[in-house]
Amino acid sequence: MRLTVAGIARMKAKGERIAMLTCYDHASALIAERAGLRFLLVGDSLGQVMLGHGSTIPVTLDDMIHHSAAVARGAPESLIVADLPFLTYASADQAVLSARRLMQEGRCHAVKLEGGAPVLGVVEHLVSLGVPVMGHLGFTPQAANQIGVRVQAKTAAPAAELIRDALALERAGAFAIVLELVPIELAAEVSKRLTIPTIGIGAGPGCDGQVQVWHDVLGLHDHPPFRHAGRYGEIGKAIETALAGYAGDVVSGAFPTEANGASIDASVIAEAAALVDGQASASALVDDRA
C-alpha cells in the first residue's frame, strides 16, 4: 500500500523517524523502492545533478513533469513529492496551474515550495483545493542569488523568524517542512514546536526525518562530499570501472562473443548470399544492355 500524507503525520505522532531521498528517474525509483524507501522527492536539484545546470534556477515546470512522471512509473508504493520550480508559484493562481500540471502530468502526490511569510497565501490556497504542500525553510536554493549558499538563521532574530515561518506554514496547512542548512539547535527547537514533521538536510539529528540527494548518498560526484551529506557508496567509481571494462573489451574484441548473439545454420547464409549475388549479376546484365 502506498505511503500517504496521513501516514507521514502518523509517523510524527508515533515518534518514528522518516527517511526521504531525492529521485529523478524510473530506474532509480525501482531501486529506491526495492531498498525500502517510500518517501521520494523529485527535487529541482535535478537541475544540477541530472541536467548539468549550475543552480536550480533554470529548471522548468516541463523538466519537473518529465522527471516526476518517470519516478511515478517506477515507485507505485511511494509518496512522491515534486518541487514547484523557480517562479512557478509567484501568485496563488499561477501556483494552482503549476501544481495541476505537476500532479496530473507528473503524477506526483504533493508539491514542495520554498519560503516562509511570502508564500503562506499560496500554501493556504493550494491546500484548500486539495493539494498537499511541503514547505522548505532555511537555505532555499531558489533564492541562492539573494541569500548565498550558507547555513541560515545563525542569530536570534532570523532564528525567531524561521520558527514563526515554520509555525505559520503548519497553520497554512503544510504537511511537512524541509529544513535545509539550519543550525542543529534551531532545527531541534522547530521540530519540538511543530505537530507536522520536519525533514532535515544539513540541519542535524533533531529533525523528525532526513532527506538527502541521490548523487550524494551514492557517491556519484567527483567533488568531495559536503559536510551535510551522508555518503553510503562509491557508485560513481564502480560505474567508471564497469564502463572502462566494457569499452576495453569492445576495442580488444573480447566482447561481444558468440554467446552474446543468436545463430542460424550456415546453409541459410549461403542461400541468402546466393540470392544477393544472383540479383547483383542479374542487374549487372541489365546495366550492360542499357
Interface ranges with ligand KIV (CB under 6 A): 22, 41, 43-45, 83, 178, 180, 201, 211, 213
26: how many CB neighbours lie within 10 A of its CB?
16
Name the catalytic one among 114, 124, 170, 180: 180
The nearest distance, CB 193 to ligand KIV, in angstroms, is 21
Cβ-based nearer residue to ligand KIV, 5 or 255: 5
240 flagged as catalytic = no
The nearest distance, CB 43 to ligand KIV, in angstroms, is 2
Q: What residues contact 206, with CB distance under 8 A and at least 6 apart?
A: 184, 185, 187, 188, 189, 191, 192, 200
Cβ-based nearer residue to ligand KIV, 12 or 228: 228
User: Which of 270, 141, 249 is CA-nearest to residue 201?
Assistant: 141
Q: Render the burial of 68-95: b for 16+ CB within 10 Å, e for the rest.
A: bbbbbebbeebbbbbbbbbebbeebeeb
User: Which cell is 260 given?
Assistant: 552474446
Q: What residues contact 81, with CB distance under 8 A and at least 6 apart?
A: 20, 39, 40, 41, 42, 108, 109, 110, 111, 112, 134
State the DSSP string of 128-140.
HTT--EEEEEES-
The nearest distance, CB 22 to ligand KIV, in angstroms, is 5
Cβ-based nearer residue to ligand KIV, 55 or 255: 55
Q: Return the residue nearest ligand KIV (CB atom).
A: 43
Cβ-based nearer residue to ligand KIV, 54 or 253: 54
The nearest distance, CB 140 to ligand KIV, in angstroms, is 9
User: Which cell is 10 given?
Assistant: 502518523
Cβ-based nearer residue to ligand KIV, 65 or 211: 211
The nearest distance, CB 202 to ligand KIV, in angstroms, is 9
Give me the residues paired with residue 226 across strands.
Answer: none
120: how many CB neighbours lie within 10 A of its CB?
18
| Catalytic residue numbers, as ranges | 180
